[in-house]
Amino acid sequence: MDAVGFTRMEDGTRQDYELLERLERPYLEALPDRLLAALIALKDSYSGYQVTRYEHSLQSATRAHRGGRDEEYVVAALLHDIGDELAPHTHGEMTGAVLRPFIRPEVVWVVEKHGLFQAYYYAHHFGEDRNARDKYRDHEWFDSCAEFCERYDQNCFDPTYGSLPLEFFEPMVRRVFAEPRYLEGEDA
């Protein structure tokens, strides 16, 4: 088994780090497979809705695609809830972190904040402030997030909606996640 010679990173050599880079390449290339697997896992996720989280995600992406959204947006719509399994209270932020190197900043912000914006549709039923999203009212992407929730999230629990199959979106996922385009410290 190929392995580095160090037990502390500060003791690593150039050869150690070249080995790690070589071994990491196939792992990074398999990211689309892991994302698709996380999406498929939503088939078994607790829901209580009339559709699974998986179907909800397909509906979101289908509506975005049919609404003329670009590929990055459609892929973000498809994956926007994959963080639910591990971070149910902060799933948008978790998913945003996954998307950030591959999806433009506006769409990442929408995914990160969609949970708060989505509360507009139900918070008042629990005596909570449905307008809590207004703390971002002056943010340049406020309207984008409100629109995402209205058109591509809150209405995607319909068991009669004709969603496109995952196979339709898979090539988009592979293209979007083929290479990071929005790395921190670099201009997009």
pLDDT in tens, 94-109: 999 999 999 999 999 9
The alpha carbon of residue 136 and the mean position of all alpha carbons in its chain are separated, in whole angstroms, by 20
User: For 30-165, where are the alpha helices, taking DSSP H only?
Assistant: 31-41, 53-66, 71-79, 91-99, 105-118, 142-152
Please name the residues in contact with 7: beta carbons below 8 A apart, sequence gap of 6 or more: none
Average pLDDT over residues 133-153: 98
Q: Is 13-176 in CATH node 3.30.499.10?
A: no
Tokens of 165: 């199959």
Question: What sign for the dihedral angle of Cα 79, 84, 88, 94?
Answer: negative
**CA–CA distance, 163 with 132 (Å, rounded to integer):** 31
| CB-CB contact of 44 with 64 (8 Å) | no
Average pLDDT over residues 62-75: 98
Higher per-residue confidence, 175 vs 184: 175
The pTM assigned to this predicted structure is: 0.92
pLDDT of residue 185: 55
pLDDT of residue 184: 73
The percent of residues above 90 in pLDDT, for the chain, comes to: 89
